[in-house]
Structure 1
Amino acid sequence: MDTLIGQGLVALEMIVDPGSFQRDVVGAKQFTDESYGPGAVVGTAKLAGETVTVIASDAEAFNEKFPVVYAGIIGMEEGYKMASAVYASIAADADKPATKKRPLVLVVDTPGNGPGKVEEIFGMNKSTGAYQLALAEARLAGHPIVAAVVGRAISGAFLCHGLQADRIVALDAKFGTMIHVMPLTSVSRIIKKDIEVLEELSKSNPVFAAGPQFFFKLGGVEALVPEIADLRGVVVAQVAELRAAKAKGEATGPQGRAALGAARGGRVTRPQVAAKMAAEFAAVADTYRPQTT
C-alpha cells in the first residue's frame, strides 16, 4: 500500500484494535438514520484495550441531498453528525475523572467543506463551528484528542476536523499526504502576487508552503509518521503522552502549537507580535474597564 488517500476507513481499522470498531454507536447515542450525513463515519472502538470514539470521513459516500458532498468532503450534515458524536462522548464519561475520559481519534482525509449555495444558506458555518466547539469542550474536559492525517487535510474542513485536537500526527508526504489552508493559486489571486513568486517563497517559507513537513516546522503537526505501519503505534503513544501532559496541566491543542512552532523555527515572529499586542493592550486596559464606585 503506497497511499491512504481516499481510504479513511482502511486507516481507521489499521489504527484501532482489530475487529473492535462499532459504527454509529457512541455512548448511549445510536446514529440510526443512514441517510443523515453519510460522509461522516462515527463510532466506538478499542485502542490498546481502551474505549475510544472514532470520527472519520468516508471518501466513497455521496450525500444525495447535497451534491457537492462527496469524496470525503465535510458537508453541513456531516459537521453536525461529527459534533453529535463528540457530545455523546462527553455525556458518556461525564461522571468519570479527567484521567478516565475516553480518547477521541480523528482520522483526517478530507478535501474541504461542502461549499454549495444551499449549504451556505442553511448555515454551513454553524455546522462546522459546532463541531469545532464540541472538540474544544471535549479537550478542555480532559478527553485526549489525536488527529491522524492520512491523506488530505484541506482548508475549513481541517479547521473543524483536526486543528482542535490536542495532538496532530501526519503520514509522511511520500504517501501523498497534503496539508494546506489555501492553494498557492488562490493565495496569488487574493494578495496579487505572481504564482512564480509564491512558488519560490514556498521553498523556504513555511507560511506559503504546503505539506506535513512544513506544518511540522510551524508547530501545526506534532509528529510525522514515517511509514504507514507505524501509524497505530504513534497514535497509541500520543494518547499516553497526552494523559501525562493533561495530568501536569501542560498546554495542548492550539495553545501548545504556538510555542512548538517558535521552538522549531517556523513561527519566530509570532511570539514577538503577541507580546507587543499584549503590552499595548495592557497600557490602555484600565481605560476600558468598567468603573466601580
Structure 2
Amino acid sequence: METLLGQGRAAIDLIVDAGSFTEGKVGARTFDDPDFGPGAVVGTALLEGETVTVIASDADAFNEKFPVVYSGVIGLEEGYKMAQAVYATLAADAEKEAARKRPIVLIVDTPGNGPGKVEEIFGMNKATGAYQLALAEARLAGHPIVAMVVGRAISGAFLCHGLQADRILSLTSEFQTMIHVMPITSVSRIIKKDVELLEGLAKSNPVFAAGPAFFYKLGGVEQLVETIDGMRPAIAAQIAGIRKAKADGAATLTGPRGRGSLGAERGGRVVRPKVQELLRSEFAAVEERFRPRVA
C-alpha cells in the first residue's frame, strides 16, 4: 500500500489538475521570500477546471530560524504565511457573490506545532490563532473549505490547519494516516490511568481512540477516501455539496458545528447533545438575573 506520509507537497499534484499549481501566488499576493515560513506551501491551482487556493505543509523543509520547525511542523512563520494566503483569497474574491468564491483546499500532513521556547515567547499561539481566524472568516464569507488528510493530523497543528474547514476528508488508515489530539501513552501519563484500561475504552468509546475510522465515527471526518486517485473527485464533490448547503441556508451543517451533529448521528458523540441541552436549560433558569437592565 502506498503512503503519502510526509509528502504534503507531493500530494498537491495528485489532487489538483495536472500542471496547474502555481506556488507562491494567491490573488494579487506574491509569496516570494523562500526564507519566510519555508514549511508552508501556498499557491493557486485548478481543481476540475475551477480556481482554488491550496495550502499544504512541506515535510522536507526546515526553518533555520526556528530549529523545532521541521518534518511538516507548523511554526510561527508558517502559521502567519498560511493566514496571509487565506486573507489574499478573501481579498481576491471580495466582490464576488458567494456562489463564485473560490474554494480553499487544505492538504493536511503535520505532526504538530513548533513547541520551542523561542516560538512560544515570540507568539506562536497568535500565529496559529490568526490562521484559524482567517479560515473561519473565509468559511463564513462563503468560500468552500475542504481539508484532505493525507498523512498526519495531530494536536494543535490540526486544530489550525484542518478543523476550521467546512468538510474534512481523510485517506484510510491503510495509507498510514494518523489523526489524534494525543496518543494514548501520553493520555495515560497525564490522567494516571493504565494504557491497557485506555485501550479497552478505545474499543467502545471513540473519544479515547485515534485514527481516521474513529474520527469518522465522532463526526470529525466527513468522508474516508479509500484510494489516492479518489481524492480529487471526492474533494470536488464536497465543494459542490458545501456550496449547495450554504445556498440552502444550511451553513451550520458544515464546519465545526456540523461535525458535532454528525458525530451524534453516527453514534460517536451521543452524550454531547445531552450536555448541550442541560447547559441551555441551566442558563435559561438564571438568564433573567444577569440580563442587562435597560434604563
TM-score, scaled to structure 2: 0.98
State the Cα distance separating 1:288 from its structure 2 match: 1.0
Report the AA paired with residue 90 of structure 1: L
Residue 265 (structure 2) aligned to one of 258, 263, 266: 263
Aligned partner of 1:6 in structure 2 is 6
Tell whether 2:277 aligns with 1:275: yes
Aligned partner of 1:129 in structure 2 is 129
The 5 Å alignment of 1:1-293 reads 2-250=2-250, 251=252, 252-293=254-295
Q: Is the 8 A contact 2:14 2:228 kept in 1?
A: no
Report the AA paired with residue 241 of structure 1: G
State the Cα distance separating 1:120 from its structure 2 match: 0.4
State the Cα distance separating 1:286 from its structure 2 match: 1.3
Q: Partner of 2:206: helix, strand, or coil? A: coil
Per-residue displacement from partner, 1:237-285 (whole Å, max 9, x unpaired)? 1111111111011121001001100000000000000011011001111
State the Cα distance separating 1:204 from its structure 2 match: 2.1
- Over aligned residues, Cα RMSD in angstroms? 0.7
Report the AA paired with residue 202 of structure 1: A
Identity %: 71
Report the AA paired with residue 228 of structure 1: I
Distance 1:174 1:36 in 2: 34
Distance 1:210 1:134 in 2: 27
Distance 1:219 1:178 in 2: 16
State the Cα distance separating 1:190 from its structure 2 match: 1.5
Distance 2:92 2:288 in 1: 44
Distance 2:255 2:36 in 1: 30
What stretches of structure 2 of length at least 5 have no aligned partner? none
Distance 1:86 1:283 in 2: 41
Q: Is the 8 A contact 2:132 2:160 kept in 1?
A: yes
TM-score, scaled to structure 1: 0.99
Distance 2:52 2:288 in 1: 46
State the Cα distance separating 1:233 from its structure 2 match: 1.0
Q: Partner of 2:275: helix, strand, or coil? A: helix
| Paired positions, count | 293
What stretches of structure 1 of length at least 5 have no aligned partner? none
